[in-house]
Structure 1
Amino acid sequence: MEIDLVWGVGEGRTSLGSFDRALSEANIHNYNLVSLSSVIPEGASVVERGALEPGRWGVGEVVAVVTAEKTGTEPGEKIAAGLGWMTAEEGGVFMEHSCGTREECEHELLRNLEDARETREWNWTGEPRTKIVEATTEEVTSVVTAAVYRPLSLE
C-alpha cells in the first residue's frame, strides 16, 4: 500500500474558503475526507507527491487521511503545518502539528516521533522524516499537509 503525501497553500476571503483552496492545491478538495489516528499499516510506504493526480477517485469518494492544517487571518502572520513519520517492520506512525514557523513545527514533530518510538517496542527502520508547509498571510491563508490512504467503503 502506498500512502500519498500531499500539501497545499490557499488564500481566500474566509477561513473555510482558503482551506478549500489549500485542499485544491493538493488535489484532495473533491473528496469527503475522514480523519485517521495516524498509524501506518504494516508494509505501507509513504510517497511524497505534492498533489494527487487528477481523477484518481470519483468525486465525493470517502477518503481516509491524516492531516495537519493551519489558517492565518492577520496580515504578515506566519503559519506552518506538517506531518512527521517513521516506519518500522510492524508499521509506522504519523504525527501532525501546526504552529507559526517551520522550525517550531519540525521541532515538535521530531519530539512527538521520539515519544511514539519510545511507546512502541517495534523494529524501527530509517530516520524520522517531515514535510512542512509554511506561508505568510496576506489576507486569509491556509496551509495543509495530508497523508492520503485510500477510499473507504461505507457498505
Structure 2
Amino acid sequence: MASIHVAAGVGVAPTAMAAYDAALADANLHNYNLVTVSSVVPADATVEIVDRAPDLGPAGNRLFVVQAKRLVGPDSATGAAEGDSGTIAAGLGWATGPGPGLFYEVTGDDPTAVRAGIDDGLDAGAQLRDWDLRDRTTLVESAEPAPDAHTCVVVIAAYGESEPIC
C-alpha cells in the first residue's frame, strides 16, 4: 500500500523563489525535484497529515506531488504585501471512499474561503466521476505576509518515495 504524506510550510525570503524554497524546507520537501500531478488518489494509497515530510529518498530525486501554493511579494512603494488582505492561505483537501479518491487544491486570502472552495471542488470532482467519496480531510496553511519580503505558504501531498531523475 502506498503512502501519501501531506505537509504544510511557510517561507519568508528576499525573493519569490527563495520564499518558495523556504516554505518547502519548512515542510521538509526542499531537496527534491517536484513533479506536479493531477489530483487522483490511488485506490490502494493511504493519506496522512504530517508536521514535516519524512525522508523520502536522496536529494535530487524526483517526487510526485499535488501542491497548493500562495506567494506574495513586497510592494516597493508602500512596503505592504501585494494584494495585502492581512493573510494568505493555501489548502489541500482530499476525499476517499471505496476505490480511488481525489485531492483538490485552493489558494486565496481567507482560510475560511479556501476551505469552502476545497469542499466545493471535492463535491464537483466526485459528482463528475460518479464516485462515492465520503471520507474527507482538509489541511489549510496561512500566514501574515511580511511587509518587506516575499511570503509563501504551501500544502503538499507527496506520493510515496522519491525516484532517481536520470
Counterpart-to-counterpart distance in 2, 1:46 and 1:144: 17
- Map of 2:77 onto structure 1: none
1:153 CA displacement: 5.6
- Map of 2:143 onto structure 1: 135
The alignment status of 1:103 with 2:129, answered yes or no, reads no
The alignment status of 1:80 with 2:81, answered yes or no, reads no
CA contact (8 A) 1:64 1:152 kept: no
Residues 154 and 23 of structure 1, relative CA distance in 2, 3 Å threshold: closer
Counterpart-to-counterpart distance in 2, 1:112 and 1:121: 14
TM-score in terms of structure 1 length: 0.92
Q: Percent identity?
A: 31
CA RMSD, 1 decimal? 1.5
Residues 80 and 89 of structure 1, relative CA distance in 2, 3 Å threshold: same
- Which of 102, 123, 148 is equivalent to 2:158? 148
CA contact (8 A) 2:9 2:26 kept: yes
Counterpart-to-counterpart distance in 1, 2:165 and 2:132: 34
Counterpart-to-counterpart distance in 1, 2:132 and 2:103: 16
Aligned pairs, number: 153
- Map of 2:19 onto structure 1: 18
1:117 CA displacement: 1.4
| Aligned residue runs from structure 1 range 1-150, under 5 A | 1-53=2-54, 55-74=55-74, 75=80, 77=84, 78-126=87-135, 128-138=136-146, 139-150=149-160
1:123 CA displacement: 3.5
**Unmatched tracts of structure 1, length 5 or more:** none
TM-score in terms of structure 2 length: 0.86
1:72 CA displacement: 1.5
**Unmatched tracts of structure 2, length 5 or more:** 75-79
Counterpart-to-counterpart distance in 1, 2:28 and 2:122: 27
1:154 CA displacement: 5.2
Residues 154 and 56 of structure 1, relative CA distance in 2, 3 Å threshold: closer
Structure 1 counterpart of 2:152, one-letter code: S
1:95 CA displacement: 0.4
